[in-house]
Amino acid sequence: MLDVEGLALTPADRDLLREPAVGGVILFSRNYESPDQVADLVAEIRALRSPPLLIAVDHEGGRVQRFREGFSRIPAMRHLGIEYDSDPESATVLARQCGWLIGSELRAAGIDLCFAPCIDLDWGVSEVIGDRAFHRDPDIVADLAAAFSRGLRSAGMAAVAKHFPGHGAVVADSHLTLPVDRREYGDVLDDMRPYERLIGNGQVAGVMLAHVVYNEMDDLPAGFSSYWIGRELRSRIGFDGAVFCDDLSMKATEAYGSMRQRAKRALDAGCDMVLVCNDRRRAEQAAQALGDYSNPLSLVRLARLHGTGHVLRESLRASELWQQANSAISRWTERPELELNA
């Protein structure tokens, strides 16, 4: 899965996206100007290949919401956790509405997939996770993430939980360096409990791995680790959906070879799709080097992630469901104690 340069496809984008090893596109803020523009860009991408490429975005709410003007403002998930502490029923309803609103608005633009929910535990040490986490309590995280995922699914979008087995207990930011989590296995089990519940209940179709080393269990980052993918996620937890390796351009992966070598490591460890973002030269190298790679089971898993149903944006915004969800979240986010810009 790769990115594209701007608001419309360039000839270089088109050539790259036609490479057989490319299976999807992830969009960023630079690819967004308005709902109509991004819908046109998505249609351009979709027309390039048959079957079409998977189109995704990070749009989980709070500071990780790529499209803003023309889309509903979604709060950071921590605020749902705060609400849960005082009113679990209200927080669960709001979580479902957030998921539905995100999914519905993205599906109206033709986007298949949002990399959400983030179900890392809030251990109070990770700035890169921070308010993206629902809560510290794994059971509360599971409750809210399940409601959020039900909302996504009812909008025609699959849920992709991240960052397995958990990114919330390390200070370092994997965008900038390689974090090492030195906890013992029994401590990391807490981080995996939300995955166990969501996967056990069939509520997530994808999982994204953390670029974190858990050195008591394995010397490799989770995205390159057959221990975490094969033994823990597939065998012990029983996950049979799509596994994503987070962006291989992140600094955490630099010690593990060329971009081609990193991509091959992740695929060999059991990932179904790898992301290479914001580095066109190395993305081209990886796509060309992996041109003959094929995994039929991965193709089946990834095919399940294509969005279903489609509604025109105007019809969506005129619907009673959209108006109710947007009004509920707007009233809630306007409460001064939430401090959404903090």
Catalytic residue, candidates 112, 131, 190, 246:
246
How would you write the pLDDT of the chain (342 residues) with one tens digit per residue? 999 999 999 999 999 999 999 999 999 999 999 999 999 999 999 999 999 999 999 999 999 999 999 999 999 999 999 999 999 999 999 999 999 999 999 999 999 999 999 999 999 999 899 999 999 999 999 999 999 999 999 999 999 999 999 999 999 899 999 999 999 999 999 999 999 999 999 999 999 999 999 999 999 999 999 999 999 999 999 999 999 999 999 999 999 999 999 999 999 999 999 999 999 999 999 999 898 898 999 999 999 999 999 899 999 999 999 999 999 998 877 665 554 433
- Find all residues with CB under 8 Å of 127, minimum gap 6, and list them: 171, 173
Q: What is the pLDDT, as a whole number, of residue 331?
A: 80
Q: What is the pLDDT, as a whole number, of residue 258?
A: 93
Tokens of residue 238, six digits: 């029983």
Q: CA-based angle 63:69:74, to the nearest 5?
A: 40
Catalytic residue, candidates 36, 139, 175, 268:
175
Can you say whether the dihedral through the CA atoms of 326, 327, 330, 335 is positive or negative? Answer: negative
Q: What is the pLDDT, as a whole number, of residue 340?
A: 42
Q: What is the pLDDT, as a whole number, of residue 228?
A: 98
Whether residue 167 lies in the annotated active site: no
pTM of the model: 0.95
Alpha carbon distance 136, 81 (integer Å): 9
Tokens of residue 231, six digits: 């033994």
CATH of domain 72-273+303-338: 3.20.20.300
Query: Each residue of 65-87: b (16+ CB within 10 Å) or e?
Result: bbbeeebbebbbbbbbbebbeee
Whether residue 175 lies in the annotated active site: yes
Cα within 13 Å of Cα(20), Cβ side: 7
DSSP 70-103: TS-----THHHHHHHHH-HHHHHHHHHHHHHHHH
Alpha carbon distance 315, 296 (integer Å): 38
| Virtual torsion, Cα 320, 324, 326, 327, nearest 10 deg | 130
Q: What is the pLDDT, as a whole number, of residue 36?
A: 97
Q: What is the pLDDT, as a whole number, of residue 94?
A: 96
Alpha carbon distance 164, 170 (integer Å): 13
User: Where are the domains positioned within the chain?
Assistant: 72-273+303-338
Alpha carbon distance 317, 168 (integer Å): 36
Q: H helices within the chain, ranges in order?
A: 11-17, 35-48, 78-86, 88-108, 138-154, 185-200, 226, 259-269, 280-289, 296-303, 313-318, 320-333
